[in-house]
Chains A and B, each alone.
Chain A
Amino acid sequence: MLKYALALFVVALVALQSVFVIQEWEQGLVLEFGKPVRIIREPGLYFKIPVIQELIVLEKRILAAEARPAEYITLDKKRLTVDTVSRWQIDQPLVFFQTVRNYVGAIARLNDITSARLRQEIANHNFKEFIREEREKIMNQVTKGTEEQAKRFGIRVIDVRIRRVDLPEEVQSSVFARMKAERERIAKRYRAEGDEQAREIRAKADKEREIILAEAYKQAQALKGEGEAESAKIYAAAYTKDEDFFRFSRSLQAYKNIFSKDTIFLLNPDSPMLRFLESPYGKPVNSAERKIAVPKAP
């Protein structure tokens, strides 16, 4: 009984040493005394000779290599702080294992390559181009260059992307100052524009008011003139019927209006008015007066 158990235990131990599983996201490398003998790319259940053979498990998924921010200089001598992130995959496990051995080493190598390529590319472009127009193109160039060099390490580079592009601290403050100045300019312009338009609107209103009033004055004067003219015509038409009588009656009317109680008249009894003052038969009427008094027959 005990013997069986012991045998079973030994068999199990050997089996555990020789059987292994490669997961879907892994790939394996089997070494025989350090010498690679088998590359396993597909997941599944595998066997190896225990003790003699050794298994190295590597990632099959896409990995990231994030580079620390570093300073670069553009063609127009501007300094920039740039960091990149590369995506890569172990393409040839054997080469990878022989050249860089592990992920840390691989990431360090990759970052060296990308930063060298990036330095070269940025140095060929002006600041503005780099920020605005050529970013994609530069990234593609860097990817291409890195791709070629990374092949030596059994690495397939999917892409290299520029993550952050910043100005160095001391440049930032001058950028802020410039931004502030620019905003102040815009603010001033808005206020001046407001003033401009307001003045224009007010002046227009004033002008319109003057025109309206002048037009009204013109119309009013014309109307008054018409009234005068028409009334003159009417008076003329009426008074020409008997001009002499008009003169007479109009004079009488004027006397009534002109003289008030403050007027002092020095009356002479010779005046026709006082003809009967001293005699009931009156003084003879001056022939000249008579003539005026009696109108010509119409």
Chain B
Amino acid sequence: MERYQNRQDQNSPFGEFQRNFDDYRRKLNQFMKGWGLWAICGILLIMYICSGFYVVGPGEKGVVLLFGKEYSISDPGLRYRLPKPFMSQVVVDVTKVRRAEIGFRSDGSRTRSVPAESLMLTGDENIVDVQLIVQYMVQDPVKFLFGAEAPENTLRASAEVALRGIVGENTIDYTMTKGRVEIQQKVQSYLQKLLDNYNTGLLVTQARLLVVDPPSQVQEAFHDVVRAWEDRERLIKEADGYSEDVIPKARGHAQQEIRQAEAFKAQRVIRAQGDAQRFSLVVSAYSKAPAVTRERLYFEAIEKVFSSARKLVTQGSDSKVMPLLNLSDAYGLLPAPPTDKQNSADDQSRKGH
């Protein structure tokens, strides 16, 4: 007791607190005796009633429940319902497009493949690596909330069912090439059918195949097929190039040969005409004085022939001089000393004149 007594000392902090507390209590009692209590009750009541306000954002729908039972559906804006435990609401975004990734997960900018999900059997017993993206939205908020447990998980699982089902119906080549669009459409309609069946209230807006690839173990072989196709095209193009090169050149050569032949023909004919004309003119002149003309022509020709050729005039018709002529020397068949040759040639020509 002594210790408590001490605490109530003027100076101790506890003593001060005690005094303040007593003071408050006195004031509170006074307040309660007046309108104070009612005021507090009133404020609490108003606060309670006000707890029934809630906001439905743009693109959202609010589902209002009265004692757990669907009561109404509210549109965007500031809305009011009775406070709990009478009414409650669940707000669902019905315009947001949501996405589910099958066969891969993206965190931020990076994507990571999930082989367990992405590898699947095709109808021709091959294995293909498929990544699918499903875009969907809530079509019916009531079904979405109350139709199926975890509707978005249902969607993921059903998307896998649909994708594997459809891929299993097709061959690997069809799936990877021409069939892509068709498979997308089939997956989408199949998935929608399942979702409707399960009362999920979800609408698939798009199912898109992101990747349809051979598994990494055989990717190199598939790439080689692509390269082989390119090789094939290249070989054909090269051959085409050869053909484009050779044929025009051949045509050019052909034209050249034909034109040359044409030139030859024209030349022959024209020259013949010239020769003929000349001959005709000469003949007509000749016929006027045949003997003289004939001899003149003869001498002209002989003159021309003899003027340049080497000549040797012999006496008489005997040709005793023949053996003396060194024919080989004259025709340069045997090499002879140049001076001798020169002299003998000079001698001969002097003899001729």
Q: Which of B179-187, B237-245, B335-343 faces chain A?
A: B237-245
Task: Specify the chain B residue showing the minimal Cβ separation from A62.
Answer: B148
Task: Name 20 interchain pairs, CB-CB below 8 A, sorted by A.
Answer: A43-B67, A85-B161, A87-B198, A127-B125, A161-B157, A162-B164, A175-B125, A175-B126, A183-B225, A194-B233, A194-B236, A212-B250, A213-B250, A216-B253, A221-B261, A227-B267, A242-B287, A245-B286, A255-B301, A273-B306
| B232 is an interface residue with CB less than 8 A from chain A | yes
Q: In whole angstroms, how far apart are the Cα atoms of A1 and B123 in the complex?
A: 82
Hey, which bits of chain A sit against chain B, CB under 8 A?
Answer: 21-26, 42-45, 59-64, 66, 85, 87, 127-128, 131-133, 135-136, 158-159, 161-167, 172-173, 175-176, 179-180, 183-184, 186-191, 193-195, 197-202, 204-206, 208-210, 212-213, 215-217, 219-224, 226-228, 230-232, 234-235, 237-239, 241-242, 245-246, 248-249, 252-253, 255-256, 259-270, 273-274, 277, 293-295, 297-298
Supposing A64-B153, A239-B279, A262-B331 touch, asked if A202 and B243 sit within 8 A by C-beta, the answer is yes
The residue on A at minimum CB distance from B250 is: A209
> Would you call B295 an interface residue if the criterion is a C-beta within 8 Å of the partner chain's C-beta atoms?
yes
User: What distance in Å separates the Cβ of A30 from its nearest Cβ neighbour in chain B?
Assistant: 16
Task: State whether the Cβ of B266 lies closer than 8 Å to any Cβ in chain A.
Answer: yes
Which of B147, B160, B164, B197 lies at the interface centre, i.e. has the most chain A CB atoms within 10 A of its CB?
B164
Contact with A along B251-274 (1 / 0, CB 8 A): 101110110111011111101110
Give the distance to chain B from A291, nearest Cβ to Cβ, in Å: 12
Q: Across the interface, do A261 and B199 meet the contact criterion of CB distance under 8 Å?
A: no
Q: Are B310 and A267 in contact (CB under 8 A)?
A: no
- A179-B127, A199-B239, A252-B301 are known contacts. Are A42 and B310 too (CB-CB below 8 A)? no
Residue B158 at the chain A interface, CB threshold 8 Å: yes
Given contacts A44-B69, A136-B165, contact A179 B126 (CB under 8 A): yes
Report the minimum CB–CB distance from B87 to chain A (whole Å): 11
Answer whether residue B130 sits at the interface, using C-beta atoms and an 8 A cutoff: no
**B interface residues with partner A (beta carbon < 8 Å):** 65-70, 85, 116, 119-121, 123, 125-127, 145-150, 153-154, 157-158, 160-161, 164-165, 168-169, 172, 194, 197-199, 214-215, 217-218, 221-222, 224-225, 227-229, 231-236, 238-240, 242-243, 246-247, 249-251, 253-255, 257-258, 260-262, 264-269, 271-273, 275-277, 279-280, 282-283, 286-287, 290-291, 294-295, 297-302, 304-306, 308-317, 319, 321-322, 325, 330-331
Taking a contact as CB atoms under 8 Å apart, the answer to whether A25 and B146 are in contact is: yes
Measured between alpha carbons, how far is A277 from B311 in the docked complex, in Å?
14
Q: Are B267 and A208 in contact (CB under 8 A)?
A: no
A205 touches B246 (CB 8 A): yes
| Alpha-carbon distance A190/B297, docked complex (angstroms) | 83
Taken together as a complex, chains A and B put the C-alpha atoms of A220 and B146 apart, in Å, by 96
Q: Is the CB of A242 within 8 A of B149?
A: no
Contacting residue for B235 out of A198, A230, A255, A294, CB 8 A: A198
Q: A212-B251, A264-B330, A295-B294 are in contact. Are A220 and B68 (CB under 8 A)?
A: no
Chain A residues with Cβ under 8 A from B264's Cβ? 223-224, 227
Contact B221 A64 (CB under 8 A): no
Residue of A nearest to B168 (CB): A131
Whether A187 contacts B243 in the complex (CB less than 8 A), given A161-B158, A249-B282, A270-B317, comes out as no
What's the nearest-Cβ distance from chain B to residue A88, in Å? Answer: 10
Contact A230 B272 (CB under 8 A): yes
Would A261 and B218 be within 8 Å (CB), given that A62-B199, A237-B276, A248-B297 are in contact? no
Known: A179-B221, A267-B313. Contact between A208 and B250, CB under 8 A?
Answer: yes
**Extra contacts besides A209-B247, A238-B280 (14): CB < 8 Å:** A22-B68, A24-B70, A127-B125, A189-B228, A190-B231, A197-B239, A205-B239, A215-B254, A238-B276, A238-B277, A245-B294, A261-B309, A265-B312, A295-B291
Return chain B residues, CB-CB under 8 Å to A226. Answer: 265
The listed residue (B158, B269, B294) touching A248 by CB distance below 8 A is B294
**In the complex where A162-B161, A235-B276, A262-B310 touch, is A273 in contact with B243 (Cβ < 8 A)?**
no
CB within 8 Å for A206 and B280 given contacts A132-B123, A179-B221, A230-B269:
no
CB of B254 within 8 A of CB of A264, answer: no
In the complex, which residues of chain B have a beta carbon less than 8 angstroms from the beta carbon of A248?
294, 297-298
